[in-house]
Structure 1
Amino acid sequence: MSRAVVTGLGVVAPSGVGVAAHWESLQANESRITPLPGDRARTYGVTGAGQVPGFRAADHVDERLLIQTDRWTWFSLAAVQLAMDDAGFDPGDQDPYAVSVSLAAASGGNEFGQREMTSLYTRGPRAVTAYQSIAWFYAASTGQVSIRHGFKGSSSVLVTEGAGGLDSLGHARRVIRRGTAAVLAGGTEAGLSPYALACQAAGGRLSAGGYAPFDTGASGFVPGEGGAVLLVQDADRLGRHDDTVVYGEIAGYAATHDATHDVTAGPDHEAGSQLTRAMRLALSDAGVSAEEVDLVIADAAGLPDWDRLEIRALQEVFGHRSSPVPVAAPQALVGRMGAGGSALAAATALLCIRHGFLPAVGNLHEPITAPGLELVRRPRPQPVQTVLVNARGLGGFNSCLVLRRYRPEESHE
């Protein structure tokens, strides 16, 4: 069975543009939450947001395409190019039918859509551009990436809110196993427009006091924008003497659903059992025991009930270990960014494997009680071979991904 390995990372996030900037931010463990423009912070009850610093769309996107697409697609186009550059992957050297695009989306082109709807209501139908029909759509980034680079393999968009980034990577492995040579997977978001913030505020989950998961003062999350795109390739097609850097292997994946509308239920709710089940299925899929996991990058919603559910689920999976499993959540320093957040968490996990590093739980001052787990307070060097990444999406989605150091000598069995 083909092994899916990650050879390129493209990061466009509040932690910086590019792998080097993101890695430096991880090591520094500094908050990248900044004030929102205008009166958005006061209007929507948040102190700030994770915003991509110094991003100039014209540096990454053709001018003709800028007027046809939304900010989230600009992020995806930039992240795709960064991932390919990181891997030394030239689209011109590839069979276009052997390369697929499988990105995730949660909020779509909300800024573009808001602008066009405003034009409709204030100036009439003739003020709406033809691009409204495609720029807001969830598959817009997948389509624009495919067109830009001429990729003609089977492509898709995954829409499972915050779990989408992991689902796209799980799907990428599936596509690789079906015979495709390479897949660009992951996702980005740009959910900081007034419309997008209004939608998030309506759910009652935004925090006015900051994003502090697993802390006694947790009161919700701070929104963010950006994400990551990963280049996933068939290990067998890299060749024995290929000098391509391999960040790691997608070893296991699983997804479950809570099958309930009440996503804010307390710790006794059945939803926790489905997250537990997803973790166990992902570990089983990877052929990895709980004892072998060196790091968990948690979903870390920052909502007290959700955090307690995840802690209990982690205890059920890892509580019997001989030593506590380290649990990190660096996303608290950049904001919660839908599908882009889980894609960025996967990129972070691979960097931890490559460099031997444990990131921290961002903004953790007074940890909640979590026997059998180590909520990492400060980042530190430590060998990392295997990482479990958790992600949950509004509506009951649970996804888990196991990433591990790539060992070419291992069999495909």
Structure 2
Amino acid sequence: MRPVVDGLGIVSPNGLGTEDYWAATLRGTSGIRRITRFDPGRYPSQLAGEVRDFDPAAHLASRLLPQTDQMTRLALVASDWALADAGVDPAELPEYGAGVLTASASGGFDFGQRELEKLWSKGSEHVSAYQSFAWFYAVNTGQISIRHGLRGPGGVLVGDQAGGLDAVAQARRNLRRGAVAMLTGGVDSALCPWGWVAQLAGRELSTARSPQAAFLPFDVAARGHVPGEGGAILYLTTAERARHPYGEIAGYGTAFDPPPDSGRPPALGRAVRLALADAELTPADVDVVFADGAGRAEADAAEAAAVNAVFGPGAVPVTVPKTMTGRLYSGGAALDLATALLALRDQVIPPTINVTRPDPRHRLDLVTDGPRQARLRVALVLARGHGGFNSAMVVRRAEGNH
């Protein structure tokens, strides 16, 4: 049984829909700007990757709008697009043979804030009954499952950025246990004052005012990351059932960092080796690495060291297309995975924008000057989550893909 991705649904700050996103990414078009969802003037960080020009009423029934957060609305639309891309009518799938497994890092922060405001200003009788689930980490899984009648295996992974890969890996396990298809990936959004304060507490956000200078992974001027919203939902099925697969989920590895004061090294390199072993590949087989790209000097150095330890300095092209979207938390790695599959399809590596002075100490072959044409058969996607999560996923180009 070979698990393959047969459909993509992308909602991103620099493009709604797979082809719009991909065209913008190859052009190097950024979706990072000053926040418009609320007035960020009182906060030290004021930039984000917002999904703009998204009208949920144009895509979703009016009855869904009062019970869903921005995050869930984006996820529902992405799931629609993933199924349409795969040419699948979920009603034709076995009733309990297809399921939903997503990642979430924050839940519905914006919905929660609005209901808390009602509680404080008007009283408990004004709080929506939908608050009981609209804020919850598993709400995307539940709403997607209900929307499409997918009653098979379900769940949610909470692992910050790494969760986007962990969810796909768990969906792959469900296929191996007998499921015929899974909607998986991650979509996140926490662009409201409550969510913003929570993100600022980690002290990892860039305070730059210029979008071109704010998020610079592996650059000598790296100064933190820019948050964003969105992500990707993938339709995962077996190679035998797929119509025009983008690629195969060939390998996966995960490892947890030791305590900071333990003296032991970070675990990202171990996750990479586990993923390669799972795919039965060697480092020489990998044609491109989609890096996590934290945008902080120490974290970037640790990731570069892990890549170099596995592949050798400068031995494999590395890219960080999330410089155009910001870090989307659970949606980020899912979007990177979708981007890697598109790169395999079109034989081109998307660029890392705005990085004009790559730190030579990292010794990486960072793709910065526009897209790079290359012969691509295998891609490696890396993701690290706050608190020590590390995940790596190997994807292999499918024959006769989209």
TM-score bracket for this pair, using the shorter chain length: over 0.9
Tell me the distance in 2 between the aligned counterparts of 1:168 and 1:295: 22
Tell me the distance in 2 between the aligned counterparts of 1:76 and 1:271: 36
**What's the counterpart of residue 333 of structure 2?**
342
1:299: Cα distance to partner? Answer: 0.3
1:362 is the counterpart of 2:353: yes
What does residue range 5-404 of structure 1 map to in structure 2 within 5 Å? 5-37=4-36, 40-209=39-208, 210-238=214-242, 244-260=243-259, 262=260, 270-272=264-266, 274-319=267-312, 324-370=315-361, 373-378=364-369, 379-404=371-396
1:95: Cα distance to partner? Answer: 1.2
Report if aligned partners of 2:258, 2:264 keep a CA contact under 8 Å in 1.
no
Tell me the distance in 2 between the aligned counterparts of 1:27 and 1:38: 27
Tell me the distance in 1 between the aligned counterparts of 2:46 and 2:379: 32
1:360: Cα distance to partner? Answer: 1.7
Could you say if the C-alpha distance between residues 331 and 281 of structure 1 is closer, same or farther in structure 2, counting changes exceeding 3 Å? same
Could you say if the C-alpha distance between residues 38 and 337 of structure 1 is closer, same or farther in structure 2, counting changes exceeding 3 Å? closer
3-state secondary structure, aligned to 1:34: strand
Q: Deviations over 1:255-313 (max 9, x none)?
A: 111142x5xx8xx96352x1010001001100111011100000001011110110111
What is the one-letter code of the residue matched to 2:228? G
Could you say if the C-alpha distance between residues 54 and 401 of structure 1 is closer, same or farther in structure 2, counting changes exceeding 3 Å? same
3-state secondary structure, aligned to 1:49: strand
Tell me the distance in 1 between the aligned counterparts of 2:172 and 2:396: 14
After TM superposition, the score normalised by the length of structure 1 is 0.92
3-state secondary structure, aligned to 1:6: strand
Report if aligned partners of 1:180, 1:234 keep a CA contact under 8 Å in 2.
no
Could you say if the C-alpha distance between residues 271 and 57 of structure 1 is closer, same or farther in structure 2, counting changes exceeding 3 Å? farther
Q: Deviations over 1:194-228 (max 9, x none)?
A: 11111111111110120110000000001100000
1:120: Cα distance to partner? Answer: 1.1
Tell me the distance in 2 between the aligned counterparts of 1:69 and 1:221: 27
Report if aligned partners of 1:319, 1:372 keep a CA contact under 8 Å in 2.
no
Q: Deviations over 1:360-380 (max 9, x none)?
A: 223211101256530111212
Could you say if the C-alpha distance between residues 225 and 361 of structure 1 is closer, same or farther in structure 2, counting changes exceeding 3 Å? same
1:352: Cα distance to partner? Answer: 0.2
1:39: Cα distance to partner? Answer: 6.2
1:122: Cα distance to partner? Answer: 1.6
Count of aligned pairs:
394
Tell me the distance in 2 between the aligned counterparts of 1:237 and 1:88: 11
Q: Deviations over 1:205-256 (max 9, x none)?
A: 1101201100000000011000000000011234xxxxx2110000000111
Report if aligned partners of 1:162, 1:337 keep a CA contact under 8 Å in 2.
yes
More displaced stretch, 359-368 vs 286-295: 359-368
1:30: Cα distance to partner? Answer: 2.2
Q: Deviations over 1:68-121 (max 9, x none)?
A: 111100011000000011111111211121111000000100000011111112
Q: Which runs of 4+ in 1 moved over 6 A?
A: none
Could you say if the C-alpha distance between residues 258 and 124 of structure 1 is closer, same or farther in structure 2, counting changes exceeding 3 Å? same
**Percent identity over paired residues:** 44
**What's the counterpart of residue 241 of structure 1?**
none
Tell me the distance in 2 between the aligned counterparts of 1:158 and 1:276: 22
1:407: Cα distance to partner? Answer: 4.7
Report if aligned partners of 2:14, 2:29 keep a CA contact under 8 Å in 1.
no
Tell me the distance in 1 between the aligned counterparts of 2:45 and 2:353: 17
Report if aligned partners of 2:304, 2:363 keep a CA contact under 8 Å in 1.
no
Q: Deviations over 1:323-356 (max 9, x none)?
A: 7200000101111110001100000000000000
1:47: Cα distance to partner? Answer: 4.0
Report if aligned partners of 1:324, 1:372 keep a CA contact under 8 Å in 2.
no
Tell me the distance in 2 between the aligned counterparts of 1:132 and 1:179: 35
Could you say if the C-alpha distance between residues 269 and 354 of structure 1 is closer, same or farther in structure 2, counting changes exceeding 3 Å? farther
What are structure 1's unaligned runs of at least 5 residues? 239-243, 409-413
Report if aligned partners of 1:7, 1:232 keep a CA contact under 8 Å in 2.
yes
More displaced stretch, 139-148 vs 115-124: 115-124
Tell me the distance in 1 between the aligned counterparts of 2:142 and 2:347: 36
